[in-house]
A and B are shown apart, each in its own frame.
Chain A
Amino acid sequence: GQQVMQIPQYQHVQEGEDFTTYCNSSTTLSNIQWYKQRPGGHPVFLIQLVKSGEVKKQKRLTFQFGEAKKNSSLHITATQTTDVGTYFCAATAVGGSQGNLIFGKGTKLSVKP
């Protein structure tokens, strides 16, 4: 079945350092979403990217969708302790079943104050 590979699995940073997580697919994606799950919490939707090469920003977070629509990244500038959590990408393949989001395995971010 279709898979979305997400790396790294873990990232430990010092507060103030930058952080990036990447998602890759072998098939063309219809769209990609990003979610954040705080420790002990539930995944919360952050953003959706639809267009080839799309870049969106939310304060210190920058999201990119690759030109070929097969990869995406989430970059956090100057991390803060409130950024701690697991970041998931989730994608729908072109021609995929409606509602069938494939989640990456997540990147767990820890931030040392």
Chain B
Amino acid sequence: DTAVSQTPKYLVTQMGNDKSIKCEQNLGHDTMYWYKQDSKKFLKIMFSYNNKELIINETVPNRFSPKSPDKAHLNLHINSLELGDSAVYFCASSQGNKNIQYFGAGTRLSVL
């Protein structure tokens, strides 16, 4: 069983469209995250949710809106996609104070 699963794996879309990426973890973790990895492989945290509550919201455009329906799911909705949004988006989860991140396989987003 995949511990942290995100869908879709690939997403190709036109500029201006709205898209969503879904993430689910079956590890029983209380914290979930979204990261963006650009073409230079730089990993940057975007959002963090703990027990469905937002605890970290880094400087990202408000076109990005996370939603956590329960502590096992954290979805990412992106409005009005721009070329610069092209990247790999990773979902991750962790439990407790150790902060060890368990990453999903990533969603490769290409905006044309």
A-to-B contact residues, CB < 8 Å? 31, 33, 35, 37, 41-45, 48, 86, 88, 90, 92, 97-101, 103, 105-106, 108
- Is there an interface contact between B100 and A88, defined as CB atoms closer than 8 Å? no
Collect the chain A residues with CB atoms within 8 Å of residue B33's CB. Answer: 99
- Is there an interface contact between B41 and A48, defined as CB atoms closer than 8 Å? no
- Is there an interface contact between A88 and B43, defined as CB atoms closer than 8 Å? yes
Collect the chain A residues with CB atoms within 8 Å of residue B48's CB. Answer: 99-100
B-to-A contact residues, CB < 8 Å? 31, 33, 40-45, 48, 50, 55-56, 90, 94, 97-106
- Is there an interface contact between B56 and A97, defined as CB atoms closer than 8 Å? yes
Known: A43-B90, A99-B50. A92 touches B43 (CB 8 A): no
Collect the chain B residues with CB atoms within 8 Å of residue A98's CB. Answer: 50, 55, 97, 99
Nearest CB on A from B42, distance (A): 5
Secondary structure call for the A interface = strand
Nearest CB on B from A57, distance (A): 19
- Is there an interface contact between A99 and B99, defined as CB atoms closer than 8 Å? yes
- Is there an interface contact between A43 and B55, defined as CB atoms closer than 8 Å? no
Collect the chain A residues with CB atoms within 8 Å of residue B90's CB. Answer: 42-43
Collect the chain B residues with CB atoms within 8 Å of residue A86's CB. Answer: 41
Nearest CB on B from A64, distance (A): 19
**Bound complex: CA A42 to CA B4 (Å):** 11
Q: 4 tightest A-B contacts by CB?
A: A42-B103, A103-B43, A99-B48, A43-B103
Nearest CB on B from A87, distance (A): 11
- Is there an interface contact between B100 and A108, defined as CB atoms closer than 8 Å? no
- Is there an interface contact between A108 and B41, defined as CB atoms closer than 8 Å? yes
- Is there an interface contact between B41 and A106, defined as CB atoms closer than 8 Å? yes
Nearest CB on B from A9, distance (A): 9
CB-contact partner of A45 in B40, B50, B102, under 8 A: B102
